[in-house]
Amino acid sequence: MNLLPRSQETLCFQNTAGKLFHSQAGFVRLAWSPERLTLDTIKAYYDQVLALLLTSGSRKILSDHGQRAPLSGPAQQWLTETWIPRAMTQARTRHCAIVEGADPLHRLSTQSVVSAAPVNFVFQRFSTVEAAEAWLIGVQL
C-alpha cells in the first residue's frame, strides 16, 4: 500500500494542544503536544478539527497521541458526550485511528474515551503512524 509522505499534508491550525493537518489521503491528523491542557484549550482544538473536517470533506481522523498528557475526566466526558456526536452528525465522521501515547495513564484515559464513545464511532489503536495511515487509507466510506 502506498502511504503518502508527510509533504502531502497541509498544516491548518496550531495551538498549545498541538498541530492539525489535512492529508491528501483524505483524513485529518492531530499531532498532540505533551503539555497539560485546559478544557477550554482542548475544546478550541477540537472545534478546529471539526471545522477542518467540514471544509475539507474528510471523514476520517488520525490522532497521534505521542507524548500527550492524559485527558482530564471532564475533557473525556465532553469529548464522548458532545464532540464525537457532533462530528458524527455534522461531518459524518465515523473512523478514528489512534497512535498510542507513551504514558500508561494516557492509554487508560484513551480507553475511557473509546469505551464511552457512541457505538457507531469506530476506533482502531496503533503503535505507529504508518500503521494508522494504512488502516485509514483502507477504510471504505
Full DSSP string of 63-128? EE-TTPPPPPHHHHHHIIIIIHHHHHHHS---EEEEEPPS-HHHHHHHHHHHHHS-TTSEEEEESS
Residue 24 has pLDDT above 60, yes or no: yes
Architecture of the 6-138 domain = 2-Layer Sandwich (3.30)
Q: For residue 91, what pLDDT is reported?
A: 97
Residues in the chain: 141
Sorted by where each begins, the domain ranges of the chain are 6-138
Q: Taking 70 as the threshold, does the pLDDT of residue 137 lie above it?
A: yes
Between CA 61 and CA 97 the distance in angstroms is: 6
Cα torsion through 86, 90, 94, 97, rounded to 10? -70
97 backbone dihedrals φ, ψ, rounded to 5°: -95, 130
Q: Residue 6 pLDDT more than 60? A: no
Between strands 95-99 and 122-126, the pairing is: parallel
Instruction: For residue 15, give the 3-state DSSP assignment.
Output: strand
CA pair distance 8, 103, nearest whole angstrom: 29
**Beta strands 122-126 and 9-15, pairing class:** unpaired
- Structure confidence at residue 53 (pLDDT): 98
C-beta of residue 98 within 8 angstroms of C-beta of residue 124: yes
What is the average pLDDT across 76-93?
97
| Predicted structure pTM score | 0.91
Tell me the backbone φ, ψ of residue 16, rounded to 5 degrees. -65, -20
